[in-house]
Chains A and B, each alone.
Chain A
Amino acid sequence: MIELAFQEKFSKWRVDDARVPAACGLSGLISQDGRAVGGEVIVESMRILRERGNGLGGGYAGYGIYPEHKDYYAMHIMFEDFQGKKVCEELMEANLEIEMGEEIPYRLVEGICDVPLLWRYYALPRPERLEGDGLQADDFMVKLVMDINTTVPGTFVFSSGKNMGVFKAVGSADTVGEFYELENYTGYTWIGHDRFPTNTPGWWGGAHPFNILDWSVVHNGEISSYGINKRYLEMFGYECTLLTDTEVVAYLLDLLIRKHGLPLDIACLVLASPFWKDIDSLGDQTEEDLEKSLRIVYGSALLNGPFAFIVGYSRGMVGLNDRVKLRPLVAATKDECLYVSSEESAIRQICRNPDRVWAPPAGHPVIGKLKGDV
């Protein structure tokens, strides 16, 4: 009995809080002129990184993939069963005007099994609900997604941005791409991930990318500062509910950029801050004051530990390493296209002759931005 009671007591920690260390392969591309790239390209790039994963999680995010529904939040949701779907849809009906709901198309491929119900909905918050809660549409959606993910059994919203979508599963990245028929989508930004979890719960939601609204993150590494990043985010109402530390990256970007209004490159100075010795020797008082303020105010948002991540968002893509570069990250350009990946081979697989290839220094972001509208 004692043991049972003990287990019950800590079941919360065992499930909600247990971090799953993982090593991984990453790849991302953005055509900064907005040219559409087929989903099969990123799948091809990920195929070469198979060695970095172990078949227990793969996924993609594409931007610009739903042009005909681009003004709606595209919610990708996985349900364990119809009961969860029913509860979730009732909750959504109460809060959202749903333009359309449909099953996400997929084909059965070898190596992918236990497929949950995979649905997508194009929706907007009900105006009366926004007024009632006094929230902006984005805040309302964040809250709703967190509500669904924490309260509706067996249900997980894995993507919620506009004109973008996340596709992920338990399987290797290339088979996940085939499973979701990514060749039928085109987008201007794609990011992909192959996962090597060292202790996996075998849950589809645990694969990358992680998404909150516009932000999608693929991540290789371990956020050793996770404990304080999580507690810092909780101060601002974010609930870290997943089985991994990667979600803090997405939430921190959302907080810093959307809520605190920091430009992306300055947000990167928070996440992988320069060392004090470098700040002290900047020689420019304005820059020194700025970087000092960022470190002092946002110390709890510093991501510490080995990481390389690629973040996709509607206006661009950013690759970032930890401040001593403990995980690989390579970048390349060809014409208007920027590539970022764990390995040069994954870039050359889809871009034989890049104009320039380089290894971004520790803590220096590589940022690709969309020029003009799409």
Chain B
Amino acid sequence: MQGSLIPNEFVVDVDHQRCRRCKRCILNCGFGVFDFQSMTTADSSKCVACHRCVMFCPEDAITITRNPLAFKEHSSWGIDSRKAIWKQAESSGMILTGMGTDLPWLNVFDHLLIDACQVTNPSIDPLREPMELRTYLGRKPDKVEIEVDDKGKPRAVNSVENNIKLETPIIFSGMSYGSVSLNTHRALAIAAQRLGTVMNTGEGGLHRELYPYKDNIIVQCASGRFGVHSEYLNAGVAVEIKIGQGAKPGIGGHLPGEKIGLEVSGTRMIPVGTDALSPAPHHDIYSIEDLRQLIYALKEATGYKPVSVKIATVHNVAAIASGIARAGADIIYLDGFRGGTGASPAVIRDHVGIPMEIALAVVDSRLRQEGIRNWVSIIAAGGIRSSADVAKAIALGADAVGVGTAALIALGCRLCQKCYTGNCSWGIATQRPELVDRLDPDWGAERLVNLINSWSLELKEILGALGINAIESLRGNRERLRALGLDSTVMEILEVKPAGV
């Protein structure tokens, strides 16, 4: 019987002159590429190019290359199209994938340029002058009511106390315990605490060991309600209702039973080994008025902590966001179509939704037109790769950005897009104990802190060049952005002028 018709994606080569047969590669590969039969052998068909073996080979004996196998060129039928068809002809199933879309869609961020000062206004040196990134998330009143006491001392009457304080406008996006390892959650929580920002639990509940980090955690309540109980809802500074995810708008989730071990089972409140299925919709939310009920139910359950609503950016996102603001949400989390996932059908990941940059611009503008922009904070996520993206997102109107993929890359992720297999050799997207153990939470936290601190430094440098010394003066300040290589319709939607104007 004929085997698979799909050629290997990569070729693993072991240099036997260098190899000392220490077998570290065998231990390190989560995908079982290596074996030992008198010498180290490699089954290239299993390789995902996660580099774990390469990084840990003491002799530099392993090389991974793209399979140079020639295909007859065809401009319509790319190699990936052909491979997808072979896969489906062999499997009769949806093609699963992980992380955000890898198709070369237009990236709006790469067509936006940031302004700087010259002559008429001085730039500010962040090494000499204060440069402020502190950000508050949550509902703000339309105005500050002032009351003057007997001694003539003014005092603010209305409170902004339940706003969440961030020392930098970058938070860690929701990635569930179950899809990622407990050590990943540990690293994120430690880093969030050190940075003065927050991590988001994702939909899999919060391991009790992390409850002490409650000042730096947003707990999520998604359609599967995994791990949701009253103590959990109060184990963070805010609650997030996850309606959708950028990588898979409109569809639910499926965490296979193999990933549900004892700890995940206890946290998610489901039996060991059962599949964790998140329904596509919340079964108690079939319209905006139902969302309102859940928002207020969660507020009642938490003593009126801020409630965030996370949506995937879809075509009608501005009207949806307006409805969410009017339904009582304090934060709207916009997850763009480049957002990551532990598992999604490739067809959904690659073809459903719209870019976060555009969604962010129209949501911010719409809320302003309706005079309710201050009712909600906007978190933009799904494709933030650098401090430049952060600055551009904030200039387009975001209060803060969420980073998921970038955080995982900091922890060692190579973007192999095989999260759904549970074999992550870096100990991130796996529950196999021997793999999870590889990720030292303190080491990971330090790398996350380094990354976000670097971005914060760069943000301060950008602000200084712009001649402003507080992040709120960049927020929504599209006047300081110019477009290069975007068509006029997109520029009009973004309300960003072309370079040169």
* B122 and A276 contacting across the interface, CB-CB below 8 Å: no
* Chain A residues in 8 Å Cβ range of B475: 228, 299-300
* Chain B residues in 8 Å Cβ range of A222: 120-121, 467
- Residue contacts A-B, CB under 8 angstroms, 19 given: A10-B501, A17-B479, A21-B120, A198-B119, A224-B121, A225-B468, A231-B478, A262-B146, A266-B154, A273-B470, A275-B132, A290-B155, A290-B156, A294-B156, A296-B160, A297-B144, A297-B160, A304-B470, A305-B467
Of B120, B124, B368, the most chain A CB neighbours within 10 A belong to B120
* A231 and B368 contacting across the interface, CB-CB below 8 Å: yes
Query: Counting CB contacts under 8 A, is B186 at the interface?
Result: no
User: Contact partner of A300 among B155, B466, B476, CB < 8 A?
Assistant: B476
CA A261 – CA B475 in complex, angstroms?
A: 25
* Interface residues in A50-66 (C-beta closer than 8 Å to B): none
Query: Counting CB contacts under 8 A, is B271 at the interface?
Result: no
Residue of A nearest to B149 (CB): A286
Segment at the interface with A among B58-66, B134-142, B205-213: B134-142
* B156 and A289 contacting across the interface, CB-CB below 8 Å: yes
* B476 and A289 contacting across the interface, CB-CB below 8 Å: no
User: Contact partner of B470 among A263, A266, A299, A326, CB < 8 A?
Assistant: A299
Residue of A nearest to B163 (CB): A296
A10-54 toward B: CB 8 Å interface, digit per residue (1/0)? Answer: 100110010101110000000000000000000000000000000
CA A281 – CA B158 in complex, angstroms?
A: 22
B143-169 toward A: CB 8 Å interface, digit per residue (1/0)? Answer: 110100000011110111001000000
Query: Counting CB contacts under 8 A, is A113 at the interface?
Result: no
* A306 and B371 contacting across the interface, CB-CB below 8 Å: no
* Chain B residues in 8 Å Cβ range of A297: 140-141, 143-144, 160, 374
User: Contact partner of A235 among B153, B368, B478, CB < 8 A?
Assistant: B368
Query: Counting CB contacts under 8 A, is B469 at the interface?
Result: yes
* B144 and A294 contacting across the interface, CB-CB below 8 Å: yes
A289 in contact with B155 given A224-B466, A227-B476 (CB within 8 Å): yes
Query: Counting CB contacts under 8 A, is A238 at the interface?
Result: no
Query: Counting CB contacts under 8 A, is B88 at the interface?
Result: no
Q: How far is the CB of A246 from chain B (nearest CB, A)?
A: 14
* A324 and B469 contacting across the interface, CB-CB below 8 Å: yes
* B144 and A260 contacting across the interface, CB-CB below 8 Å: yes
Q: How far is the CB of B196 from chain A (nearest CB, A)?
A: 12
Query: Counting CB contacts under 8 A, is A323 at the interface?
Result: yes
Binding site of B, secondary structure by majority: helix, strand, loop or mixed?
Answer: loop
Q: How far is the CB of A322 from chain B (nearest CB, A)?
A: 9
Query: Counting CB contacts under 8 A, is B73 at the interface?
Result: no
Query: Counting CB contacts under 8 A, is A356 at the interface?
Result: no
Of A13, A198, A224, A292, the most chain B CB neighbours within 10 A belong to A224
* A306 and B156 contacting across the interface, CB-CB below 8 Å: no
Query: Counting CB contacts under 8 A, is A277 at the interface?
Result: yes
User: Contact partner of B373 among A14, A221, A235, CB < 8 A?
Assistant: A235
* B143 and A260 contacting across the interface, CB-CB below 8 Å: yes
A298 in contact with B121 given A9-B488, A266-B154 (CB within 8 Å): no
Of A21, A260, A294, A305, the most chain B CB neighbours within 10 A belong to A305
CA A306 – CA B368 in complex, angstroms?
A: 27
B469-501 toward A: CB 8 Å interface, digit per residue (1/0)? Answer: 110111111111000000010000000011001
CA A304 – CA B479 in complex, angstroms?
A: 14
Residue of A nearest to B488 (CB): A9
* Chain A residues in 8 Å Cβ range of B146: 261-263, 266, 290
User: Contact partner of B117 among A224, A230, A276, A289, CB < 8 A?
Assistant: A224
* Chain B residues in 8 Å Cβ range of A302: 470, 472-473
A220-247 toward B: CB 8 Å interface, digit per residue (1/0)? Answer: 0110111110111011100000000000
* B160 and A292 contacting across the interface, CB-CB below 8 Å: yes
17 additional A-B pairs beyond A224-B467, A224-B468, A226-B477, beta carbons within 8 Å, are A13-B501, A23-B120, A198-B119, A224-B473, A226-B479, A227-B476, A261-B143, A275-B130, A277-B130, A289-B156, A293-B158, A297-B141, A297-B144, A299-B472, A300-B476, A324-B124, A326-B122
CA A55 – CA B155 in complex, angstroms?
A: 46
Query: Counting CB contacts under 8 A, is B129 at the interface?
Result: yes
Residue of B nearest to A255 (CB): B143
* B140 and A225 contacting across the interface, CB-CB below 8 Å: no
Of A10, A232, A296, A297, the most chain B CB neighbours within 10 A belong to A296
* A225 and B473 contacting across the interface, CB-CB below 8 Å: yes
CA A226 – CA B154 in complex, angstroms?
A: 29
* Interface residues in A192-225 (C-beta closer than 8 Å to B): 198, 221-222, 224-225
A221 in contact with B121 given A260-B144, A290-B155, A297-B144 (CB within 8 Å): yes
Q: How far is the CB of A97 from chain B (nearest CB, A)?
A: 32
* Interface residues in B454-470 (C-beta closer than 8 Å to A): 466-470
CA A247 – CA B86 in complex, angstroms?
A: 64
* B501 and A304 contacting across the interface, CB-CB below 8 Å: no
Residue of A nearest to B371 (CB): A235
CA A221 – CA B470 in complex, angstroms?
A: 18
A258-285 toward B: CB 8 Å interface, digit per residue (1/0)? Answer: 0011110010000001011100000000
A262 in contact with B155 given A277-B130, A299-B470, A306-B121 (CB within 8 Å): no
* B476 and A228 contacting across the interface, CB-CB below 8 Å: yes
* Chain B residues in 8 Å Cβ range of A228: 472-477, 479
